[in-house]
């Protein structure tokens, strides 16, 4: 199963749209850290349309918890960033445990991610 990971998402409509994508592709949506909105927010539900209740959703409190529950030895990571040195088309997508990880809309992923996984 493909896993879409959003680190501290800030915009409910974006999360709703990604949730709808996850339902359509039978992927899991993992939200990590503090959210910039409530999951009960009408904007999340509106963007997710009638699919929001069908989203395979997991909310974890921190990046540390995420890395503990999903170690990279079992779940390869693909960090998406405007600073990436590879194209998204180069992500090895054959592994069904792949974690496609996005940062905050305004500030991206923490620097420690690039330092540790680059």
pTM of the complete model:
0.90
Q: Residue 49's pLDDT is what?
A: 67
CA distance 99 to 91: 10
Q: What dihedral do alpha carbons 87, 89, 92, 96 form, nearest 10°?
A: 130
> Tokens 């709703």 correspond to what residue?
16
Q: What is the pLDDT of residues 108-118, one digit of tens each?
A: 898 888 788 76
Give the CATH number for residue 60.
3.40.1280.10
Strand partners, 32: 7, 60
**Going edge to edge, which strands form the sheet with 99-102?**
56-60, 28-32, 3-7, 99-102, 77-80
Q: Residue 87's pLDDT is what?
A: 75
In the chain, the number of structural domains is 1
**Structural domain span for residue 106:** 3-117
């Amino acid at each position: 199963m493909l896993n879409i990971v959003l680190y501290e998402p800030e915009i409910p409509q974006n999360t709703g749209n990604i949730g709808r994508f996850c339902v359509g592709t039978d992927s899991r949506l993992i939200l990590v850290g503090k959210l910039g909105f409530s999951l009960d927010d009408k904007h999340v539900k509106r963007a997710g349309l009638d699919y929001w209740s069908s989203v395979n959703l997991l909310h974890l409190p921190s990046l540390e918890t995420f890395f503990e529950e999903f170690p990279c030895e079992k779940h390869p990571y693909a960090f998406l960033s405007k600073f990436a040195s590879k194209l998204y088309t180069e992500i090895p997508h054959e592994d069904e445990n792949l974690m496609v990880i996005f940062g905050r809309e305004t500030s991206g992923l923490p620097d420690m991610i690039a330092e540790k996984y680059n």
